[in-house]
Structure 1
């Protein structure tokens, strides 16, 4: 089936634009709301919520079970298929909530925190409420309703964030964070139903669930592995280093790094799968579309993450204070590998768009296992050396994804290097020049502002001088929107 490339190009550009607005605005608002709320809470308050994070996250993985991804992967999902996934998600969500509800005393006993019984039973309502919005979210992603997704996400964040600020001023302590999650889930569900034309009915069959079970289970296992990995590292590092400050420094550095690369990765991931599915049957065009997305990702990711590495010291001092100064070298190292993380998102969407959730699953499982091996091999050398090895491995592991990308659509390693390395080198040179040019500035706020402005202008200037197609198309798209207005 021939795809209207001009229409696809317009939809992709529009989706990327709204993805950028969505992810960047969400990260900024999350940061501001978090600061306002956390100033009135104690580490104990946030710790109680943190203890329950792994249960909520895995339960959320189980309730969707990868079937929303299967819907997005369909060329033209039917109403009956949406219905099937909708009711399956609610059934799974209800069963899991009941299991966790009755397991609450055991969770409280495990952590030696009696307060967790009531807290967990309320907090877990968030993922049950979310089960009503999984199919509608899949519908919006499938139809590239990125503007509407942005509006719904921002509305949920603002309403739940404002509620949290009010509640924390009323001294509701850790219940503030629980209410924030529940309100956010409810607003997301309501907002999606307001925008989506499809509405659930009783006309459904679980035949679709059985047909896509193998594919969806591959997605599910991958999500659970990643979720467990993100939460279990705290236990491992705490066991290895026996020093909460060292572990805290790593995770605070990882938090800032992940916020940066998830902004780019989320923006690309919001459109990658539906776009790649639409050109799946046209091999040459699929390769062209994938490589263009790869260039666009590199165009944004390397200056963003290398830029964060450049300003990390003054950024930390100006935002969270001198007590966190020890995270700076860790953050700088993580930013180097973080620049490559959005490329993982692109590769994952490629293999999933071809129905190969098994490849996605096994590559993620192997990556986690090797990461654990790297951590245990280098931890005796200290945290910094371990983070260097961890980061180097994550960069090199892209080679495993590249092997399968070549098998699926014929993108060679040389194609990858041509598309990615020029942006990496340009960003590295620009940040190096900015560092040397601003060494004489001693005021941290001034240094932060000057480095950000100078780096942005220099990178833009280099891209214009080199007549980079991606930049030119971005400028043309923005101009076209202004003319239409």
Structure 2
């Protein structure tokens, strides 16, 4: 199977997985948030940073190292990393279990002791699946991952909704997350059909640690900075404010991850497979930038334009203070998927050292902006994230610009038509209003925005859009005449 066919097949299944799972999960958590309210939702948000910090060491460390080493991966490598991750998971859970009282004291919320000790069990569950998931990803097997995630999402959502309807309050969300992790882990192991051997190779550990450690540190720094906003909101404000900020961040982040992980999850193993062919690698890289901007800009800008209608319909008027924060975070996330691509290509060519340098260089800027914005409340924090996101984009594009002669300015030139079309779309859609009907206003805005965006790109004769439309039409025509 050609790389193009592998990419299309992988993208299709990855997209299906995101649509049925990530977006489905958002829908369920929104429903539960509406039932339990901002304050209870905020309690879970306070623990987000601790969960994500540990998860980042799994996802950005040895997992990426295994995928990057796909052609030379041995049984010794896989088994060694399985035991390393398991040990790391046990150590991290133990640390968080015994520090739970300090976490609760930091937020002045005693109830967090019990919540955190139960919720952090997810760390142990996910530690078991790192190698199995990496093996499926190396084989570009997103079909199996999609099925496992779908089953997990469906069953956990049913249980979570049942608990929420029966007044289990924040525990409904806690058990939804735990059950989802358990079922997904079982599914991944079932499809992977791999079992670790009783092997531990120090040579494999050192080799993979050399690459993975840089990504692990970089992942920790990035996760810490990105989620420190929520932690400080919880420290300096109250649980309700955390609930508003967490909900806005969840909605914008899940949309960002939906785009980034769908495209990059497929292209990263492909880029690693052609890392020695610089011409093909750069070709994939530039096309990925184009398709990401084509898709991400209208989704984020469009979501910002319909945010008030969405919040009032999905969450209720109780959650209206989340709207201005959500609008700002949508603007901040417009550039995030491209920033991720720029860092992703450094991993693909084995330059995790540069990945680490970039993330460390952004730390002072992000921390400075955060502390300057605190006196201005959660809206101030959100707009601080807008500023740092755009500065971070140019920092992330610096090394790819040096290595492949395709830096930040060149990338924006590729995307300038999408930027113009998205800006005009936002200006026009924001003016649409149909009195006495939130649903009709929302649907009208979405359809009108889509028409405006595509029409403007066709008027501007966007080469990438026209080329892929012709490709899809030709494929459909070929199948029709067979």
Bucket of the pairwise TM-score, normalised by the shorter protein: 0.7 to 0.9
2:454 to 443, 460, 468: 460
**Unpaired segments ≥5 residues, structure 2:** none
User: 1:195 and 1:320, CA in 2 relative to 1: closer, same or farther beyond 3 A?
Assistant: same
2:298 paired residue number: 303
Is the CA contact 1:13–1:477 (under 8 Å) kept in the aligned structure 2?
no
TM-score in terms of structure 1 length: 0.87
Identify which of 338, 341, 358 aligns with 1:363: 358
Q: 1:290 pairs with 278, 285, 290, which one?
A: 285
- Tell me the distance in 2 between the aligned counterparts of 1:153 and 1:327: 29
> Aligned residue pairs: how many?
478
Q: Of the candidates 121, 145, 151, which is equivalent to residue 149 of structure 1?
A: 145
* Cα separation, partners in 2 of 1:459 and 1:213, compared to 1, 3 Å: same
Q: 1:8 to 1:230 in 2, by over 3 A?
A: same
1:332 to partner: Cα distance: 2.6
Q: Deviations over 1:375-429 (max 9, x none)?
A: 3345556765664453133113211122200222222445313321111112222
Structure-2 residue corresponding to 1:431: 426
1:58 is the counterpart of 2:48 = no
> Of the candidates 157, 160, 169, which is equivalent to residue 161 of structure 1?
157
Deviates more, 1:24-33 or 1:349-358: 24-33
Residues 294 and 168 (structure 1 numbering): CA distance in 2 closer, same or farther, change over 3 Å?
same
**Paired residue for 1:447?**
441
Which piece of structure 1 moves more, 221-230 or 71-80? Answer: 221-230
SS in 1 for 2:178: helix
| Residue number in structure 1 paired with 2:406 | 411
Residue 36 of structure 2: SS of its match in structure 1? coil
Residue 272 of structure 1 contacts residue 346 of structure 1 at CA under 8 Å; is this kept in 2? no
The alpha carbon displacement at 1:177 in A equals 3.0
- Structure 1 residues 356, 244: closer, same or farther in 2, change over 3 A? same
Q: Deviations over 1:262-305 (max 9, x none)?
A: 22112122123212112211112211110000000001011111
Stretch deviating more after TM superposition (455-464 or 402-411):
455-464
Residue of 195, 200, 206 corresponding to 2:196: 200
Cα gap change, 1:342 to 1:471, in 2 (>3 Å): farther
Residue 217 of structure 1, aligned match among 208, 213, 216: 213
Match of 2:80 among 79, 84, 88: 84
**Please, which moves more after superposition, 471-480 or 62-71?**
471-480
Against the structure 1 CA distance between its residues 429 and 116, is the aligned structure 2 distance closer, same or farther, given a 3 Å change threshold?
closer
CA distance in 2, matches of 1:383, 1:113: 20
| Cα separation, 1, equivalents of 2:101 and 2:323 | 40
Q: What is the TM-score normalised by the length of structure 2?
A: 0.88
Please, which runs of 5 or more residues in structure 1 have no aligned partner?
1-5
Q: Deviations over 1:65-116 (max 9, x none)?
A: 7111100111412222111111211122223334444445555566666655
Partner Cα distance (1:247, 1:119) in 2: 16
C-alpha distance 245-475 of structure 1, shift in aligned 2 (>3 A): farther
Offset, 1:129: 1.8
CA distance in 2, matches of 1:386, 1:45: 21
Match of 1:394 in 2: 389
> Residues 114 and 235 from structure 1, CA distance in 2 versus in 1: closer, same or farther, beyond 3 angstroms?
closer
Distance 1:118 1:441 in 2: 46
How far apart in 1 are the matches of 2:476 and 2:136?
22
Q: For each residue in 1:311-354, what CA deviation from the matched residue of structure 2 results, as whole angstroms up to 9, or x when unmatched?
A: 12222222223344344333333322311111112111111112
Distance, in Å, in 2 between the alignment partners of 1:316 and 1:329 is 11
Q: Structure 1's 255 and 37: CA in aligned 2 closer, same or farther, altered over 3 A?
A: closer
- Partners of 1:111 and 1:451 lie apart in 2 by 40
Distance of 2:350 and 2:157 partners within structure 1: 38
* Partner-residue secondary structure (3-state), 1:199: coil
Which whole-Å CA distance do the structure 1 matches of 2:407 and 2:58 have between them?
A: 37
Displacement, 1:445? Answer: 1.8
Distance change in 2, residues 1:322/1:185 (3 Å): closer
Shift of 1:178: 3.0
Q: In 2, Cα distance between the equivalents of 1:36 and 1:389? A: 29
422-431 vs 62-71, greater mean Cα deviation: 62-71
- C-alpha distance in 2 between matches for 1:185 and 1:346: 27
1:135 matched to 2:131? The reply is yes
Shift of 1:363: 1.9
Is 2:28 the partner of 1:27? no
Q: C-alpha distance in 1, partners of 2:149/2:356?
A: 28
Q: Aligned to 1:333, which of 328, 335, 356?
A: 328
Range with greater deviation from structure 2 (295-304 or 358-367): 358-367
